[in-house]
């Protein structure tokens, strides 16, 4: 990215001045190296988002930002409920793609003798890959209950624990979901996909806590050096993708109907107060519930595998965070608390200490922010900071961010040699497709450690612990 016309606010904050149709400035959080490595399209997309009606304060990009559909991935934007809009492109196609992390209290040395067998068992029990189907078969009526109930439904059906719910965003269930706003085609795609990992950058990874940066927060989160955690990264599968596809078309017509100027057709949107906007919000919340239920089921399956090897292991949930959402939240704007609709596309909510929406057990320390790496690289656990509210509506990065397209990656890397090299480094890989493995080569992504460091230094979240992979199931 060319930085010559950007205003350098600090070493980790850069402003794009208002020009043309922009209603607010753009803000990028990154160090200079990450900024210059960003695609030039990121800047244009930030400016395009800043042109949408009802946007509040600024159009933001996180340190892992890269070009996406309409919004940049890593983009954050808040909209006023009275004159603002909602955009399917501002949420993304994998609605509520997210990460949940389970604690194990199992030391690395206890795990290593069982590593290969556990990796095999996880791959056998948890369906992964394109179009993967699970053992759960849902009637249309039962699927509607999933879309209304989220993780609450999963727990009720025996696929999880009641105590998990307080450690999930929205306590495991997005309210005001509307299954009737979800197309029959979207539901058809999902009826056999509950309890599956999917493909792309989705994974289930057994990780070792290798470094701790903040002892106090780590202790509150239950993180101890050299113990294992299990992180699960997946979303709303075929249903969420179809919801985004359906409403992108609906919103394109709605924008024309309501006279909304679109600098990019991919920013198709509808007023939050319109029938189209309300219908999308209901369908999107249903997709969020689909994703929350799916991750709860995957946690249940993971726990069953570990119990076969470690009968005393309970694997409590640390937290579950979603990316790709539009959530109604209260935030301070110029000293006044306002209801806003926050689009986070490839970005993580990061409430700071004392936030009333956090469970009491975590409230004093801030929300766990779970940052996934890619195979062979580190992942991180952060905590929401006291500063992030005023910086970006309590938002942080969500991962490393791609620096190479999937097509480019498959031209440069081959899955089988990549798997072999990871195995040589002590990382057990189980995958449904070697092509899919090549698409997710570590080199196809930015340096996640640099992204996390920039997030920490920018005041978006506090670095707490570093995780390294020992076994990974990939789609």
> What backbone phi and psi angles, to 5 degrees, belong to 440?
-105, 25
CA-to-CA separations, 412 to 349, 436, 438, 439, 440, in angstroms, rounded? 34, 13, 8, 9, 11
Q: Are strands 461-474 and 428-431 parallel, antiparallel or unpaired?
A: parallel
Q: Are 281 and 326 in contact (CB under 8 A)?
A: yes
Q: Are 423 and 415 in contact (CB under 8 A)?
A: no
Best CA proximity match to 340, nearest among 93, 91, 77: 77
Best CA proximity match to 118, nearest among 129, 108, 133: 108
Grouping H, G, I as helix, E, B as strand and the rest as coil, residue 342 is: strand
Best CA proximity match to 196, nearest among 273, 312, 297, 96: 297
The residue written with tokens 């409230």 in the block is 363
Active site residues: 398
Helix H or strand E segment including 474: strand 461-474
Best CA proximity match to 251, nearest among 60, 70, 45, 23: 70
C-alpha–C-alpha distance, residues 467 and 456, integer Å: 16
C-alpha–C-alpha distance, residues 5 and 28, integer Å: 13
Q: What stretches of 372-440 adopt beta strand conformation (E)?
A: 379-384, 395-396, 428-431
How many Cα atoms are found within 13 Å in the side-chain-facing hemisphere of 74? Answer: 32
Handedness of CA 338, 340, 344, 345 (dihedral sign): negative
C-alpha–C-alpha distance, residues 392 and 396, integer Å: 8
CB burial class (10 A; 0-12, 13-18, 19+) of residue 171? middle
Best CA proximity match to 59, nearest among 29, 39, 31, 34: 29
How many Cα atoms are found within 13 Å in the side-chain-facing hemisphere of 243? Answer: 40
Q: Are 75 and 90 in contact (CB under 8 A)?
A: yes
Grouping H, G, I as helix, E, B as strand and the rest as coil, residue 278 is: helix
Q: Could you tell me the two tokens for 461?
A: 């979240």
Q: What is the 3-state secondary structure (H, E, C) of 296-313?
A: HHHHHHHHHHHHHHCCCC
């Amino acid at each position: 990215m060319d930085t010559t016309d950007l205003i350098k606010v600090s070493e980790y904050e850069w402003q794009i001045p208002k020009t043309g149709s922009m209603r607010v400035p753009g803000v990028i959080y990154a160090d200079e190296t990450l900024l210059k490595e960003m695609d030039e399209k990121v800047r244009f997309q930030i400016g395009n988002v800043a042109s949408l009606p009802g946007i509040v304060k600024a159009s933001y990009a996180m340190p892992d930002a890269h070009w996406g559909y309409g919004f940049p991935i890593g983009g954050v934007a808040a909209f006023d409920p009275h004159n603002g809009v909602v955009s399917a492109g501002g949420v993304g196609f994998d609605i509520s793609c997210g990460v949940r992390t389970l604690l194990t209290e199992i030391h690395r040395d206890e795990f290593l003798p069982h590593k290969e067998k556990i990796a095999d068992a996880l791959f056998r029990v948890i369906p992964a890959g394109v179009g993967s189907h699970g053992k759960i078969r849902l009637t249309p009526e039962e699927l509607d209950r999933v879309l209304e109930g989220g993780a609450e439904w999963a727990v009720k059906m025996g696929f999880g624990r009641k105590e998990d719910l307080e450690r999930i965003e929205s306590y495991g269930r997005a309210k005001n979901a509307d299954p009737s706003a979800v197309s029959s085609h979207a539901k058809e795609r999902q009826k056999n996909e509950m309890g599956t990992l999917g493909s792309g950058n989705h994974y289930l990874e057994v990780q070792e806590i290798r470094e701790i940066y903040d002892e106090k927060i780590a202790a509150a989160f239950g993180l101890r050096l050299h113990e294992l955690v299990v992180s699960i990264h997946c979303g709303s599968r075929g249903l969420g993708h179809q919801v985004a596809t359906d409403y992108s078309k609906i919103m394109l017509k709605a924008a024309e109907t309501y006279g909304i100027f679109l600098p990019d057709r991919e920013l198709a949107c509808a007023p939050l107060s319109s029938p189209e906007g309300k219908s999308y919000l209901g369908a999107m919340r249903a997709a969020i519930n689909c994703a929350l239920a799916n991750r709860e089921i995957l946690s249940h399956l993971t726990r069953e595998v570990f119990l076969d090897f470690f009968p005393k292991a309970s694997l409590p949930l640390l937290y579950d965070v979603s990316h790709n959402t539009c959530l109604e939240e209260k935030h301070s704007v110029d000293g006044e608390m306002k209801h806003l609709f926050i689009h986070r596309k490839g970005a993580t909510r990061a409430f700071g200490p004392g936030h009333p929406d956090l469970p009491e057990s975590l409230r004093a320390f801030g929300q766990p922010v779970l940052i996934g790496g890619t195979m062979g690289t580190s992942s991180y656990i952060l905590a929401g900071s006291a500063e992030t509210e005023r910086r970006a509506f309590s938002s942080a990065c969500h991962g490393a961010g791609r620096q190479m397209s999937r097509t480019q990656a498959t031209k440069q890397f081959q899955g089988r040699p990549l798997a072999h090299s990871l195995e040589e480094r002590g990382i057990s890989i189980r995958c449904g497709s070697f092509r899919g493995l090549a698409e997710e080569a570590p080199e196809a992504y930015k340096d996640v450690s640099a992204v996390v460091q920039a997030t920490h230094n920018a005041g978006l979240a506090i670095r707490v612990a570093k995780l390294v992979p020992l076994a990974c199931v990939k789609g």
